Amino acid sequence: MADKTQGLTRREFVQRVSLGAAALAMALPASQGLSLPSTIKNGMGYRTLGRTGLEISEVGLGAGSISPSGANLIRAALSQGINFIETSSNYKNSQAETAIGQTVKSMGIRDKVVMLTKSGNTAMERLLDASPADIEKAVREELEGSLKRLQTDYVDVYLSPYQANSPQEAVHPALQEALEKFKKEGKIRFTGLSTHNDYANICMAAIEGGYYDVIMFPVNFATLQPRIGKSVSDAKKAVKEGTKKRADFERPIINVKEVLQAAQQKKVGVVAMKGAQEGFLPPFIHERLKGEFAKDTKLSFHQFAYRYVLDQPQVSTVSVRMANMLHLNEALVLPQKTLNG
C-alpha cells in the first residue's frame, strides 16, 4: 500500500531523503557517521570505486602479510563479504599473489572478486629516461608474472607506477601507452598508481593528467588533520635530532584533503592505505586522538583509526593489512561501527 506524501510514494520519498542526506554529507567536511556506502549486504558496506564503477567492499583485504600457508585468511575474508583484495607483485616475495590465485581459483569466484595489484618490482623513477620499449618490457614482465601467480587472465585494477616518487611518473606518456596496450589485450581493466612520497603533488598530477582511474596513498588522522600531522612530524623530528637519518626512509606527512576533493570531482577512485600505521600515528598520540575524536570508544586503536578513514566520503575503500583472523574479525565489524564504539 503506497503512502502518498505530497504526491510521492513512501519509497520515492525515502529515496529522495536518502539522496539529500548523501548530498549533504558529500558537501560537508568529513565527520562522524557520514561515510556513504552505496549498498550494505550482510553487514558489509560497498562503495563505488570512482569512474571504474566497480562496487567494492569498503574494507579491503591488504595482502602484504599473506603467504600460501595463510591462505585460509583470504578464504575467510571472501566468505564474509570482502570482495576487494589489494596486493602487489613484491608482497611476501610474490607469495601473496600466489596465495590469492590459489584461493580464488579453488573457490571459483573470480568474477566476484576485485583484484588490485601493482608493478611492485619496477622502480619507475629509474626508468624515467628509458625507451618506451624498455618501459613496456619491464612492466609487461611484471604484469605477466602477476597474472600467472594470480591464476587469472586479467587484473581489475593495475597500479603502475608503484610507490611513485615524482609527479613526472604520474604523467609518463610511455608508461601510459604501455598500460593502454595491456588494456587492449584484456590483461587489465583499470589503471592507477600508488605513492608514499610527495603524495599530494603526485596524486594531483595523476588526477589532473586524467589518465588514471584509481589512486592509492596514505589517508589517516595525520594526513587529514594538519595540526595532528604537524604534531607527529615535530615529534619525529625531535627524536631524530642529532642522528644521521636516511632521507629516503622518512615518511612525509602531507595534508590530503584537497586530493580527496579533487579525486571526487574527477571521479578518481581512492584506495586509502596506512590508515593506522605507526609511521603516521605513533603510540604517543593514540590516547590524544581518542580523547578528541571519540570520548568513550570501545574500539581498538586500529579500528578507531580505520573507522575515521572510512568516514571520509571520498574514500572508496580502506586497505587493511591483515596477518591473522583477529585482524580480520576486527576489520569485519568496521562498517557497523562509529567512532564512539
Half-sphere exposure of 32 (CA within 13 A, CB side): 12
What is the closest distance, in whole angstroms, from the C-beta atom of residue 96 to another protein in the complex?
11
**282 sits near another protein (criterion: CB under 8 A):** yes
**10 sits near another protein (criterion: CB under 8 A):** yes
- List the beta bridge partners of residue 118: 159
**113 sits near another protein (criterion: CB under 8 A):** no
**100 sits near another protein (criterion: CB under 8 A):** no
Rule CB under 8 A: choose which of 148, 284, 300, 336 binds another protein: 284
What is the closest distance, in whole angstroms, from the C-beta atom of residue 228 to another protein in the complex?
6
**38 sits near another protein (criterion: CB under 8 A):** no
Which residue lies nearer to another protein by CB, 288 or 295?
288
Instruction: Select from 319, 317, 313, 292 the least CA-distant residue to 302.
Output: 319
State the burial class of residue 292 (Cβ atoms within 10 Å of its Cβ: 0-12, 13-18, 19+): exposed
**22 sits near another protein (criterion: CB under 8 A):** no
Tell me the site size for another protein, rule CB under 8 A. 63
**42 sits near another protein (criterion: CB under 8 A):** no
Residue 340, C-beta contacts closer than 8 angstroms, at least 6 positions apart: 32, 294, 295, 296, 297
Distance from C-alpha of 112 to C-alpha of 302, rounded to nearest angstrom? 28
Distance from C-alpha of 149 to C-alpha of 105, rounded to nearest angstrom? 11
**323 sits near another protein (criterion: CB under 8 A):** yes
Residue 19 identity (one-letter amino acid)? L
What is the closest distance, in whole angstroms, from the C-beta atom of residue 70 to another protein in the complex?
4
**98 sits near another protein (criterion: CB under 8 A):** yes
What is the closest distance, in whole angstroms, from the C-beta atom of residue 162 to another protein in the complex?
12
Stretch that binds another protein, among 69-77, 165-173, 258-266, 300-308 (CB under 8 A): 69-77
Distance from C-alpha of 77 to C-alpha of 64, rounded to nearest angstrom? 14
What is the closest distance, in whole angstroms, from the C-beta atom of residue 208 to another protein in the complex?
27
**301 sits near another protein (criterion: CB under 8 A):** no
**76 sits near another protein (criterion: CB under 8 A):** yes
Distance from C-alpha of 91 to C-alpha of 65, rounded to nearest angstrom? 7
Distance from C-alpha of 41 to C-alpha of 202, rounded to nearest angstrom? 35
Report CA-CA distances (Å) from 236 to 155, 185, 326. Answer: 38, 46, 30
What is the closest distance, in whole angstroms, from the C-beta atom of residue 171 to another protein in the complex?
26
Distance from C-alpha of 341 to C-alpha of 302, rounded to nearest angstrom? 12
**243 sits near another protein (criterion: CB under 8 A):** yes
What is the closest distance, in whole angstroms, from the C-beta atom of residue 170 to another protein in the complex?
21
Rule CB under 8 A: choose which of 2, 7, 42, 93 binds another protein: 93
Stretch that binds another protein, among 47-55, 169-177, 222-230, 295-303 (CB under 8 A): 222-230
What is the closest distance, in whole angstroms, from the C-beta atom of residue 123 to another protein in the complex?
12
Instruction: Select from 18, 56, 74 the least CA-distant residue to 271.
Output: 56
Distance from C-alpha of 136 to C-alpha of 177, rounded to nearest angstrom? 8
As a 3-state breakdown, the chain gives helix, strand, coil percent values, each rounded to 5, of 50, 15, 35
Distance from C-alpha of 225 to C-alpha of 218, rounded to nearest angstrom? 13
Where in 157-216 is the site for another protein (CB under 8 A)?
none
Stretch that binds another protein, among 37-45, 171-179, 182-190, 231-239 (CB under 8 A): 231-239
Distance from C-alpha of 79 to C-alpha of 328, rounded to nearest angstrom? 12
Which residues of the shown chain bind another protein in the complex (CB under 8 A)? Answer: 3, 5-6, 10, 13, 17, 20-21, 24-25, 28-29, 31-32, 34, 64-73, 75-76, 79-80, 93-95, 98, 106-107, 225, 227-228, 230-231, 234-235, 238-240, 243-246, 249, 282-285, 288, 292, 322-327, 329
